[in-house]
């Protein structure tokens, strides 16, 4: 309930100051609807919105060009403090997490774009490769937005659809984060010798899904929300330290899954809208 109530801002400026993406999206929707219903000075306000969007996108492009250096600097302290052995001690749980990432992407996304968008999964993943590689290196769904938009438009997604679906998905569509939190919760329980019952596992699934919705699209945010998942089934929050050392490696994979899911949704919605438009035109011609 707190998550649902919290997505509505108390004013229009606070979400932008606090960088609360859910509230920013809701505030933007309200402002957008207001722009649609007013009649005077519409062109001036639309131009202002377009200029601000171009400025922010260009600023983001300049920032993400430095992201490879930032990723290197984030990984170095982890290896320096814990030693190279930390990368091998959790190899099994990493392997399980990445197998789940790959299985989810290959099965769910491939079937989705094939059935709903009538597109070849091979073409989808081929065109999405630049965005997936950038997401893997930056571990930021929000930072990958400009590249993700370019890739979806090459796949045939309408700009109006992708510009709405992708920012929204970068905040609430976190499939990879939900998988990560579930895997880590089971791993932490096994490390503490705690046997989870089936209802507790269902609670983990539900809580991980809700927690992923409220996770910010920035590096490391999924680990913060993992505490809520652990608390939901009575697991010690201190167990987060077991995976904190290599969270960056988890984050790379889950971010890649997250942005791929956003792109598949944008492609599917665009394809469905085009089919609806084609049916309307066919009905008009027959009439």
**Please, what are the domains in the chain?**
2-64 (no CATH), 84-276 (1.10.3860.10)
Q: Which residues of 50-72 are buried (b: 16+ CB within 10 A; e: fewer)?
A: eeeeeeeeeebeeebeebeebbe
Taking the whole predicted model, whether its pTM rises above 0.75 is answered as no
Residue 236's pLDDT band (boundaries 50, 70, 90)? confident
Region 200-219 average pLDDT: 71
Give the three-state DSSP class for 11. Answer: coil
Region 31-44 average pLDDT: 73
Q: Name the more confident of 124 and 218.
A: 124
**Is 9 in contact with 23 (CB distance < 8 Å)?**
yes
For a pLDDT cut of 90, what percent of the chain falls above it?
A: 18
Angle at CA 245, nearest 5°, toward 262 and 181?
A: 40
Q: Which are the contacts of 96, defined by CB distance < 8 A and separation ≥ 6?
A: 183
Per-residue pLDDT at 114 = 92
* Angle separating helix axes 175-191 and 221-232, nearest 10 degrees: 50
Q: Name the more confident of 117 and 37.
A: 117
Q: Is residue 206 over pLDDT 70?
A: yes
How many whole angstroms separate alpha carbon 103 and alpha carbon 110?
Answer: 10
Q: What one-character-per-residue DSSP string does 149-161 give?
A: HHHHHHTT--HHH
How many whole angstroms separate alpha carbon 119 and alpha carbon 108?
Answer: 14
Burial of 97 (0-12, 13-18, 19+ CB in 10 A): buried
Q: Give how far the C-alpha of residue 105 lies from the chain's centroid of Cα atoms, to the nearest Å.
A: 13
Q: At which residue do the structure tokens 């929000």 appear?
A: 142
How many whole angstroms separate alpha carbon 204 and alpha carbon 199?
Answer: 9
Helical ranges in the chain per DSSP H? 2-6, 14-18, 21-37, 42-64, 67-82, 85-89, 91-103, 110-115, 121-138, 145-154, 159-172, 175-191, 198-213, 221-232, 241-244, 247-286
Q: Is residue 87 over pLDDT 60?
A: no
44 C-beta neighbours (distance < 10 Å), count: 8
Q: Is residue 34 over pLDDT 60?
A: yes
Q: Which two tokens stand for residue 188?
A: 């932490």
Region 66-94 average pLDDT: 67
């Amino acid at each position: 309930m707190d998550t649902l109530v919290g997505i509505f801002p108390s004013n229009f400026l606070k979400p932008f100051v606090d960088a609360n993406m859910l509230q920013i999206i809701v505030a933007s929707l309200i402002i957008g609807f207001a722009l649609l219903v007013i009649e005077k000075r519409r062109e001036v306000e639309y131009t202002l919105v377009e200029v601000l969007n171009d400025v922010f996108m260009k600023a983001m492009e300049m920032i993400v060009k430095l992201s490879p250096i930032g990723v290197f600097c984030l990984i170095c302290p982890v290896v320096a403090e814990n030693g190279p052995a930390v990368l091998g001690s959790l190899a099994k749980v990493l392997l399980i997490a990445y197998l789940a990432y790959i299985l989810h992407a290959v099965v769910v996304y491939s079937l989705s774009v094939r059935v709903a968008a009538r597109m070849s999964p091979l073409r989808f993943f081929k065109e999405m490769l630049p965005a997936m590689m950038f997401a893997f290196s930056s571990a930021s769904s929000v930072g990958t937005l400009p590249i993700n938009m370019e890739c979806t438009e090459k796949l045939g997604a309408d700009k109006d659809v992708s510009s709405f679906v992708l920012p929204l998905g970068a905040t609430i569509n976190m499939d990879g984060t939900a998988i990560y939190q579930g895997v880590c919760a089971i791993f932490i329980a096994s490390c503490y010798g705690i046997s989870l019952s089936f209802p507790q596992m269902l609670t983990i699934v539900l809580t991980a899904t809700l927690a992923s919705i409220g996770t910010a699209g920035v590096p490391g945010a999924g680990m913060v929300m993992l505490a809520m998942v652990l608390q939901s089934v009575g697991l010690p929050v201190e167990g987060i330290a077991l995976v904190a050392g290599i969270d960056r490696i988890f984050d790379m994979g889950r971010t890649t899954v997250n942005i791929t899911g956003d792109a598949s949704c944008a492609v599917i919605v665009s394809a469905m809208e085009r089919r609806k438009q084609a049916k309307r035109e066919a009905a008009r011609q027959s009439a």
